[in-house]
Structure 1
Amino acid sequence: MSLAALLRPVIAVACAAALTGCLFSDPLESFGGPTMGSTYSVKYVRGSGVAEATTLQAGVEAILAEVDQQMSTYRDDSLIERFNQAAAGTCMAMPPAVLELVRLGEDLSQRSGGAFDLTLEPLLNLWGFGPKSRSEQVPSAEAIAEARQRVGHAHLRIDGQRLCKDAKVQVDFNSIAAGHAVDRIAAWLEGQGVSSYLVEATGELKARGRKPDGAPWRIAIEEPRDDQQVAQKVLELDGLGVSTSGDYRNYFEENGRRYSHTLDPRSGAPIGHRLAAVTVVHPQALLADGLSTLLMVLGPEEGAAYAEREGLAALFVTREGEGFVTRSTKAFDALFPAQEDTP
């Protein structure tokens, strides 16, 4: 899920003497740092009534720390990892945010015929892509069948404020936690008086408003190549979140075959279709995050049909020979009717 934020304006804005707003424009400020094994960044326009940068950064990092402590599968002391390590039949009290994401995962699973699943961790570990992986290798059919016994939303239930499981399932929020964090950060910034910002966390993005020179926030969608970073399409955003899922950064090869880190819960194996990447644009970064994974699993035909049926703004990039072919949904074209394809 890799998107490069391009902060230079599309065109130079000349400030004539009559355009006094240009002479007194509010400054563009930024901060960032490490988070969730990756990084985050916030760029915002500092206007009147906006809190100090130190206050904004402290609030953002508190949100990120809370999300990590609640939802990370890469730390043994997180709430969800304690639940994952517990035996079948366990119920644990969980904060509202965790229960909200479990409910969303169940909804996406049901609406996609099982193509989305938050309980894939045993299979991810088995294939070498999870937090408890030992090595990247093709497992036996027997090992896959055994792991699938511990996968499935049907084994989870919510009882009041508790999350319960009737099998030794493990919940993995990596497909939606970053989008959730971005939405929370955006809401926090707005509560502190920020009306124009670009927020990014581990590749998930959300933008609102315009930069001081009046130019829109612009982000570049990368071409799905593993040898270099090439911008394929540029989007102008205002009030929208963006997420891209792809098979081109995290994979291994064995006997001449490529195995993606994106697993299909319905088969227990990595996806094998020609879809290289899919980008979803949605007012909620949380849903953009989850839906990009869902569509990536479904593939170019089934995924495109699902996106059109659900009215999603999505861009599909499919491998064709040595190159790529793009296909966008009607909702995507309506949002970006005349956007240029290169920065």
Structure 2
Amino acid sequence: MRALLLFTFMLLSACDQRPTLERLGGPTMGSSYSIQYVRMPGGPAPEQVRQAVESILHDIDQHYSTYRSDSTVSQFNQLPANHCLALPADMLALVAFGQRLAQQSAGAFDLTVEPLLDLWGFGPQARHEQVPDPHALAQARQRVGYQHLRLEPGMLCKDAAVELDFNSIAAGHAVDLIATRLVAMGIDNFLAEATGELKALGRKPDGSQWRVALELPGGDRQIARQVISVDGLAVSTSGDYRNYFEDNGRRYSHTFDARSGRPVVHALAAVTVLDASALQADGYSTLLLILGPERGWAFAVANGIAAVLVTRVEGGFVSQATPGFEHALKGE
């Protein structure tokens, strides 16, 4: 009788174990990260997931942070011209991706913009936000150019004193790594976000989809212009309204066209890109923002990119979605 009661209790306890929605987060890359995942009975506890995620983020910081003098990218940036540095395979892959974006945009997108960021006041070596004088700008531009990089087996070389900045793609790369790690841990339903870049897979415990609000630039506060359901896709938004300064009535954002050495000046305020890869979404949202409303739209349509472009017009904003964006929302 006692054994029967014990068996019945264990059976009822097992039946009560339902999937739960777990949440965790913390600081990273000067911003924050957040994870929501469905924990199945016997699945990884939040602390185990936290340790796995923060290990990935620690490695990202160690390799890609220009605010750390001991990071891998800082070691490369400190090298003089005509030198090489051995790099991890994933870092070499990110450089190769950045070089591809540079070639596709005719040099508008460029990973070697670090000297420009510092000069204009947006980088780790910046003294203050400012419009530089023409002579200083001309000097900085001599140290910018993706054509000065050369990928060799296991290493990266430079023929000029260029400096790398991975801020346009590192967060997307981190989200991809986190998503891969979560799946390896047996977690098939999650929403992973780092510094605004995110990827969702599966559904919530109640069967509903993960929903993401796309921002509309709105002065000091951001307004949701559209809420979308996401499964198996990453979402990246780049905008000129998050990091900028004003001087003599003109607005200067942290998004640079490497060819001119200056922040972009056009009516395109924000770009959202959907892609299976957070890295791809991150990189292409930046590239389209640099290109501007007309050239960005043409590039996105020609290359089948799932994107929404938000353009400033008198009295507000206009949003325009590419055919690829509509197809992605339908799961096509």
TMscore range, shorter length: over 0.9
> Distance between the aligned counterparts of 2:189 and 2:266, measured in 1?
39
Does the 8 A contact of 1:28 with 1:45 survive in 2? yes
Paired AA for residue 95 in structure 1:
P
Alignment of 1:1-343 (within 5 A): 25-48=18-41, 50-336=43-329
Does the 8 A contact of 2:193 with 2:199 survive in 1? yes
> Distance between the aligned counterparts of 1:79 and 1:157, measured in 2?
17
Cα offset for 1:131? 1.4
> Distance between the aligned counterparts of 2:156 and 2:263, measured in 1?
28
Cα offset for 1:229? 2.3
Question: What is the root-mean-square deviation of aligned Cα atoms in Å?
Answer: 1.5
Normalising by structure 1, report the TM-score.
Answer: 0.90
Cα offset for 1:51? 2.2
Cα offset for 1:96? 0.7
Does the 8 A contact of 2:113 with 2:163 survive in 1? yes
Cα offset for 1:336? 2.7
Any idea what the Cα deviations from partners look like across 1:133-181, whole Å, max 9, x if unmatched?
1111111222222111101111111221111111111010000000000
Does the 8 A contact of 1:312 with 1:331 survive in 2? yes
> Distance between the aligned counterparts of 1:299 and 1:243, measured in 2?
17
Higher relative contact order (CA 8 A, sep 6+): 1
Cα offset for 1:264? 0.7
What SS does the aligned partner of 1:39 have? strand
Which stretch shows the higher mean deviation, 218-227 or 323-332?
218-227
Does the 8 A contact of 1:278 with 1:316 survive in 2? yes
What SS does the aligned partner of 1:41 have? strand
What SS does the aligned partner of 1:324 have? strand
Does the 8 A contact of 2:200 with 2:232 survive in 1? yes
Does the 8 A contact of 1:49 with 1:193 survive in 2? no
> Distance between the aligned counterparts of 1:289 and 1:309, measured in 2?
18
What SS does the aligned partner of 1:60 have? helix
Paired AA for residue 137 in structure 1:
Q
> Higher helix fraction: Structure 1 or Structure 2?
2
What SS does the aligned partner of 2:101 have? helix
Cα offset for 1:24? 6.5
Cα offset for 1:187? 0.2
What SS does the aligned partner of 1:188 have? helix
What SS does the aligned partner of 2:212 have? strand
Larger radius of gyration: 2
Does the 8 A contact of 1:29 with 1:46 survive in 2? yes
Cα offset for 1:49? 5.3
Cα offset for 1:48? 4.0
Does the 8 A contact of 1:73 with 1:81 survive in 2? yes
Give 4+ residue runs of structure 1 displaced > 4 Å after superposition.
22-25
Does the 8 A contact of 2:17 with 2:41 survive in 1? no
> Distance between the aligned counterparts of 2:327 and 2:156, measured in 1?
40
Name the counterpart of 1:9: none
Name the counterpart of 2:3: none
Does the 8 A contact of 2:270 with 2:311 survive in 1? yes
> Distance between the aligned counterparts of 1:161 and 1:337, measured in 2?
41
Paired AA for residue 243 in structure 1:
S
Which stretch shows the higher mean deviation, 239-248 or 227-236?
227-236
Gaps of 5+ in 1: 1-21, 339-343
> Distance between the aligned counterparts of 1:287 and 1:31, measured in 2?
25
Cα offset for 1:226? 2.9
Gaps of 5+ in 2: 1-14
